[in-house]
A and B are shown apart, each in its own frame.
Chain A
Amino acid sequence: MDSIAEVREAVKRFPAPEGGVITALDDISLNIQQGQFMTLLGPSGCGKTTLLRAISGFEDLDSGEVRIAGESVAGVPPYRRPVNTVFQNYALFPHLSVSGNVGYGLDLARVSKTEREQRVGEALERVNLSGFDRRKPAQLSGGQQQRVALARAIINQPKLLLLDEPLSALDRNLRQSMQLELKSLQHDLGICFLFVTHDQEEALTMSDQVVVLDHGRIEQIGPPEELYHQPATRFVAGFIGDGTLFSGTIENGAEDPILVTEDGLRISVGIGPSVGTKATLIIRPEHLNIAPQEPDNSLGILDAVLEQSVFQGATRQYVCKLANGTSISVSVAGSGDEALSNVNPGDPIRLAYRRNTPHLILES
């Protein structure tokens, strides 16, 4: 596959307002392939927007380089780079109509009037905004403004489209439908999308590849399934999806190895890790269920006390407390497990999981 954009060993530091230095990008390398939908995911301040701005040309790197279509773009100003951006606040030109906004790039390139009309019409059709070309941005809803910003950014047919948290200002329903629309738009256009977000659900829904960033470093790169089921670090495990993390040391148990936490909790894990290794186990709500009367050997057991039972529509969540005080959630599809419905808050409960299902992160 062809590489559309590549970042090599990028480093960027900013002076912190309270003195000292903030490292926004700490030796970042990544490669965006032809036709990919890649997401930069991380909490605020992790460097994801800085990385995006380094690619679009609004930020210079201290060291390392950005290559677009195989060529280094060091020193190339933003207006000469073959990438376009959808800005977080849309940044629509208030004095121009929808058509003026969408056709802005074509006007700069002095495209002929007939071609301009045609391409603006096509771009507006792609984002389902035909017939709105004479409106001013102020006369549009948030979702419509979002579509104008999208049409404006794709009309130049960039090699790479950068999207800086474009959905964060929309309400939940609109955001979810836009996620699917963006995904299919990306598929139809065949343009690479580099999407920045702090919302893990958004990242999982849309991406082919997710890059998890924290403190300017790449924690993990991979497809959404891999990040969810096999997080590489404690940070990724905690950031993506729900779940409870247990850190401790591996010891020998009666059959399989056991993870012993600092406060003495003993949790059996699947076969594999050698004794003495420090490790973190992540148990997600869907891994757990109520233990049968006579558990077989493949199950790990946790003793807990039920605290709360919460109806969530498609699922029901049971919040339980373990012996060491750690809170752990069990998620059951439907209106709830029959065995669990007889348990009242405050009652003891035995939770079971398949030993090899929860992912174990080994520390080197």
Chain B
Amino acid sequence: MATKRDLRSLSTLLTPSTLFLGIFFLGPLAVMIIFSFLEPGVYGGVVWNFYHWNYGRILGWADGEWEDFDPVYIDIFLRSVRLALTNVGITLLVCYPAALWVSGLSARWRTFVVFIITLPFFVSLVVRLFCWVLILRPSGFLSTSLMGLGIISEPIDIIYTETAVLIGMAYILLPFMFLPLYASIEKLDHSLLEASADLGANPFQTFWRVILPCTLPGIAAGAVLVFIPSLGNFIVPDLLGGAKVMMIGNLIEQQFLSARNWPFGSALSVMIMLVMFMLIVFYLRRIGRSEIVR
């Protein structure tokens, strides 16, 4: 039981964060949910009528016309999910071996490598992405150096493709996969690996039967941390995808800033939030719990 004194110190400590989140997070969230059920004004803004066709439009029936079924927004959403999942896969494949390697280094080198990995955060995201534009464009670093080496004869044109978007997203989100993975691999008790070998497991079997299952919480945490920003991302598809690769984030951005359709943008935002909310609940119930039992 908390004493009166505990309650007082607790309320004192939590007041700033509660006020901040209440005003700057829950308030706008409520506004967004309310707007998603209002009718868009002809010249932007909202008309204060209850209007559920914002959600109908997402599912493919624009403005209540049942004949005009066209699931273009579902397509965009599914593409975003596919790209986000691919990105989770790429970052996992890149980071897992790297995290294994780093955890085997001496303490001093480990700190250094972890510092190096967080280093890109010191530079503006937009600047870093423009660097990728310079690298990936046909006259850019990648193309010219490969041609200079004689590996290819014609410039490769991968900028403004899905590949470019994936490269950019993986690059941005690598640290979010690496850090939780590294934390769980470093926690791994070395004697478990020896016990496995002692009982007859070769290194490959030890990896599948001990290392991978024991680091599953880290994999799950990394996957959630990479999936969520990947799904809502609009800067990378904007800069590296050109006008060709539209993701759900771009769509929302357009609705708010170009189409001036705030209700539809809000409805899209609420939907993507719901999907992520379900994902996190799933994560907490499945993996979060198993970690508590340990």
Residues of chain A whose beta carbon lies under 8 Å from any beta carbon of chain B: 56-58, 77-80, 83-85, 87-89, 91-95, 104-105, 107-109, 136, 138, 152-153, 156
> Which residues does chain B contribute within 8 Å of A156, judged by CB atoms?
199-200
One of A87, A95, A152 near B194 (C-beta < 8 A)? A87
- Residue pair B198, A56 in contact (C-beta under 8 Å): yes
A-B contact pairs, 27 of them (CB 8 A): A56-B198, A58-B194, A58-B197, A77-B197, A78-B194, A78-B198, A79-B198, A79-B202, A80-B200, A85-B194, A89-B189, A91-B189, A92-B195, A93-B192, A93-B210, A93-B214, A94-B214, A95-B213, A95-B214, A104-B196, A104-B201, A108-B199, A108-B201, A108-B205, A138-B293, A152-B195, A153-B199
Question: Which residues of B are at the interface with A, using a C-beta cutoff of 8 A?
Answer: 189, 191-192, 194-202, 205, 209-210, 213-214, 216, 293-294
Cβ-closest 4 pairs across A and B: A91-B195, A91-B191, A105-B199, A78-B197
* Distance in angstroms between the alpha carbons of A80 and B199 in the assembled complex: 9
A79 partner, pick from B201, B210, B294, beta carbons under 8 A: B201
Closest chain-B Cβ to A202's Cβ sits at a distance in Å of 21
CB contacts (< 8 Å) of B192 on chain A: these are 91, 93-94
Which chain B positions have C-beta within 8 A of A108? Answer: 199-201, 205, 209
> CA A85 – CA B193 in complex, angstroms?
13
In Å, the complex CA distance between A339 and B256 comes to: 103
Question: In this complex, what residue of B is CB-closest to A104?
Answer: B199
CA of A152 to CA of B192, assembled, Å: 13
User: Could you tell me the distance between the alpha carbons of A340 and B196 in the complex, rounded to whole angstroms?
Assistant: 59
- Chain B residues whose CB sits within 8 angstroms of the CB of A94 once the complex forms: 192, 214, 294
User: If A93-B210, A95-B213, A108-B205 touch, does A79 touch B197 (CB 8 Å cutoff)?
Assistant: yes
How far apart are the CA atoms of A94 and B184 in the complex, in Å?
A: 13
Q: Which of B200, B205, B294 counts the most chain A CB atoms within 10 A?
A: B200
Chain B residues whose CB sits within 8 angstroms of the CB of A152 once the complex forms:
195, 199
**Nearest CB to that of A82 among chain B residues?**
B200
Q: Pick from B191, B199, B216: contact of A84, CB below 8 A.
A: B199
Q: How far is the CA of A364 from the CA of B205 in the complex (A)?
A: 54
Q: Given that A56-B198, A79-B201, A104-B199 are known contacts, is A136 also in contact with B191, CB under 8 Å in the complex?
A: no
Closest-CB distance, B35 to chain A (whole angstroms): 46
Question: What's the least CB distance linking A281 to chain B, in Å?
Answer: 44
In the complex the two chains form, is A79's CB within 8 Å of B195's CB?
no
CB-CB < 8 A to B195: which residues of A?
85, 87, 91-93, 152
Q: Given A108-B200, A156-B199: A87 and B293 within 8 A (CB)?
A: no
10 more A-B residue pairs beyond the given contacts A85-B195, A91-B192, A108-B201, with a C-beta to C-beta distance below 8 A: A57-B197, A85-B198, A91-B194, A93-B195, A94-B192, A95-B213, A95-B216, A104-B209, A108-B205, A156-B199
Q: In angstroms, how far is the closest chain B Cβ from the Cβ of A342?
A: 57
Q: Which chain B residue lies CB-closest to A89?
A: B191
Closest CB in chain A relative to B225 CB, distance in Å: 22
In the bound complex, how far is the Cα of B191 from the Cα of A77, in angstroms? 16
Give every chain B residue within 8 A of A79 (Cβ-Cβ).
197-202
Q: Give the residue name and chain of the A residue nearest to B202 (CB).
A: A79
Rounded to whole angstroms, the CA-CA distance of A30 and B205 in the bound complex is 33
Q: Give bound CA distance, A66 to B197, whole Å.
A: 18
Chain B contacts of A91 at CB under 8 A? 189, 191-192, 194-195
Q: Within 8 Å CB of B213, what residues of A?
A: 95
The docked-state distance in angstroms from the alpha carbon of A78 to that of B209 is 17
Q: Which residue of A lies closest to B217 (CB)?
A: A95
Task: Report whether B205 and A84 are in contact in the complex, using a CB–CB cutoff of 8 Å.
Answer: no
Shortest Cβ distance from B215 into A: residue? A95
